[in-house]
């Protein structure tokens, strides 16, 4: 409580605030109660101005008259220029607020009205459908521009080279697809295309090869680990020798039952193993994946188990460790180790790890040391090892965790 006495409450308020009109509140005024008294000829008149609901007070003993209480007072300058206190806001302020409320943001009000009408119409249709005991139709949500942009940047594949699209569609290998394009057997949107580097989108562009249209939906990417048996080659050029892709004939025959309406993938091997070498080889239809794994910059270690004829001595191990020239490049193995003998395997075995992956590299290393290879088997690529329960000629689909172990980065 703070008490202040002046000659006039109006002059006191004018000297204290010095404004025309200002609504007071507890956050603007530092005190909660202000008592002003005015001395007149008859008896003083007191104003008890409170900024919060006052506590019950006893009646004043001065003249037996209770003080007048004004809650949240307004100090307004009248038409005559004098200031006065009143408990209600001025009429001019109320009138201006009403005008602002009617003229502010008319578009938002229109949108809110439209939403209300739509909500009422949808509720009406829902009630009518419920009365007819039939479920309401489900409307497809419309995605925003930001959502569509995020999908296109992160999930939708960008336009690709024409030769790559033809290879992914299963027409032929990428090299053969380029030959088809050069021969004038491919059209894009009704126009003959002779450039394999042309960027196309199979979901939008109309592509024909030899009069047959390429489907809009490309086959999904598949990845397999195959235990290659002896006598199979990794290419399909020679008809006299079986290809490792023929080991997937049963899988491809049941493709339509497992994936109805989806085109069949065109499988090929990642890298090669010669016809006499067995063991792990990756089979896929993803060209980018194959390029990354087989490129020399990946430097993926490849582990082989070599069975040799005769005994192995220290000089043989030293000669293999020093390396040899393969395809004009001096290749040095990462590891050479003599494996312990087993009762069921009478011949000596070597564990050799290389990262170059050149043609016949392990065989050349063993041959340069003066040894004869009896059998050769690849058991590991990168961090992925051939499963022990995967029989010869059998394949297993790779999981995402196994692809990461191989070093695949999408």
* Domain ranges (residues) in the chain: 2-54+64-95, 160-213, 221-299, 301-381
Band (262; pLDDT cuts 50, 70, 90): confident
The distance from CA 193 to its chain's CA centroid, rounded to whole angstroms, is 34
Count other C-beta atoms under 10 Å from residue 169's C-beta: 22
Q: How far is CA 284 from CA 95, 147, 264, 330, 403, in A?
A: 77, 32, 12, 31, 12
Element (H, E) at 247: none
Q: What is the pLDDT of residue 375?
A: 94
Count other C-beta atoms under 10 Å from residue 173's C-beta: 16
Count other C-beta atoms under 10 Å from residue 209's C-beta: 17
Q: How far is CA 382 from CA 281, 300, 311, 408, in A?
A: 12, 5, 30, 10
Q: How far apart are CA 353 and CA 343, in angstroms?
A: 24
Name which CATH class applies to 301-381: alpha beta
Chain segment 274-322, per-residue pLDDT in tens: 999 999 999 999 888 888 888 777 788 999 999 999 899 999 999 999 9
Strand order in the sheet with 74-77: 22-23, 74-77, 83-86
Q: How far apart are CA 269 and CA 3, in angstroms?
A: 97
Q: How far apart are CA 192 and CA 237, in angstroms?
A: 29
For the chain, the average pLDDT equals: 76
Report whether pLDDT(18) > 50. no
Strands 372-381 and 278-284, how do they pair? parallel
Strands 74-77 and 22-23, how do they pair? antiparallel
Give, rounded to a whole angstrom, the gap between the first and last alpha carbons of the chain. 74
Place of tokens 């043989």: 316
Which residue stretches of 306-354 are H helix?
314-322
**23 forms bridges with which residues in the sheet?**
74
Q: How far apart are CA 210 and CA 219, in angstroms?
A: 20
Place of tokens 């509140």: 25
- Strand ranges in 107-231 using DSSP code E only, listed in sequence order: 160-161, 186-188, 191-192, 199-200, 207-209, 212-213, 223-228
With contact defined as beta carbons under 8 Å apart, do 197 and 240 qualify?
no
Can you read off the two tokens belonging to residue 237?
Answer: 């050029």
Q: What is the pLDDT of residue 39?
A: 47
Band (14; pLDDT cuts 50, 70, 90): very low
Chain segment 113-124, per-residue pLDDT in tens: 666 666 555 555
65-77: average pLDDT: 59
Active site residue 274: yes
Question: 361-368 and 314-322 helices cross at what angle (nearest 10)?
Answer: 130
With contact defined as beta carbons under 8 Å apart, do 278 and 377 qualify?
yes
* Domain 160-213 listed as CATH 3.10.290.10: yes
The count of residues in the chain is 410
State the catalytic residue, choosing from 274, 311, 334, 344: 274
Chain segment 325-370, per-residue pLDDT in tens: 988 889 999 999 999 988 888 899 999 999 887 888 999 999 999 9
With contact defined as beta carbons under 8 Å apart, do 319 and 370 qualify?
yes
Q: How far is CA 219 from CA 28, 77, 360, in A?
A: 71, 82, 34
CATH topology match: 160-213 vs 221-299? no
Report whether pLDDT(127) > 70. no
The pTM of this model reads 0.59
What CATH number labels 221-299?
Answer: 3.30.70.580
Report whether pLDDT(227) > 90. yes
With contact defined as beta carbons under 8 Å apart, do 165 and 172 qualify?
no
Of 279, 386, 366, 273, which Cα lies nearest the Cα of 322?
366
């Amino acid at each position: 409580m703070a008490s202040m006495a002046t000659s006039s409450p109006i002059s006191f308020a004018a000297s204290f605030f010095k404004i025309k009109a200002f609504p007071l509140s507890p956050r603007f005024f530092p005190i909660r109660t202000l008592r002003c008294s005015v001395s007149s000829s008859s008896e003083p008149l007191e104003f008890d101005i409170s900024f919060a609901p006052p506590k019950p007070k006893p009646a004043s003993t001065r003249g037996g008259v209770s003080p007048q209480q004004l809650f949240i007072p307004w100090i307004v300058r009248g038409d005559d220029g004098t200031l006065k206190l009143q408990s209600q806001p001025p009429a001019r302020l109320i009138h201006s607020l009403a005008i602002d409320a009617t003229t502010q943001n008319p578009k938002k009000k229109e949108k809110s009205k439209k939403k209300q009408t739509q909500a009422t119409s949808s509720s009406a249709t829902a009630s009518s459908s419920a009365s007819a005991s039939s479920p309401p139709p489900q409307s497809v949500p419309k995605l925003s521009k930001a959502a569509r942009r995020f999908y296109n940047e992160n999930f939708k594949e960008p336009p690709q080279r024409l030769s790559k699209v033809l290879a992914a569609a299963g027409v032929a290998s990428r090299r053969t697809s380029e030959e088809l394009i050069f021969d004038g057997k491919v059209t894009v949107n009704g126009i003959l295309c002779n450039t394999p580097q042309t960027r196309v989108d199979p979901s939008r562009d109309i592509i024909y090869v030899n009069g047959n249209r390429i489907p809009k939906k490309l086959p999904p990417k598949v990845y397999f680990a195959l235990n290659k048996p002896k006598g199979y080659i990794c290419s399909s050029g020679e008809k006299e020798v079986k290809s490792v892709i023929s080991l997937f004939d049963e899988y491809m025959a049941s493709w339509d039952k497992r994936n109805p309406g989806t085109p069949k993938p065109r499988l090929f091997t990642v890298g090669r193993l010669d016809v006499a070498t067995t063991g792990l080889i990756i089979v896929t239809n993803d060209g980018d994946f194959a390029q990354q794994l087989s490129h020399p910059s990946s430097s993926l270690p490849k582990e082989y188990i070599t069975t040799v004829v005769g005994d192995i001595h220290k000089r043989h191990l030293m000669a293999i460790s020093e390396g040899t020239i393969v395809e004009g490049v001096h290749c040095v193995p990462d590891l050479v180790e003599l494996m312990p003998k087993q009762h069921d395997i009478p011949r000596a075995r070597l564990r050799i790890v290389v990262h170059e992956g050149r043609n016949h590299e392990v065989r050349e290393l063993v041959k340069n040391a003066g040894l004869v290879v009896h059998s050769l088997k690849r058991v590991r690529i990168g961090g992925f090892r051939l499963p022990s329960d995967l029989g010869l000629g059998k394949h297993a689909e790779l999981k995402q965790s196994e692809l990461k172990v191989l070093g695949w980065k999408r």
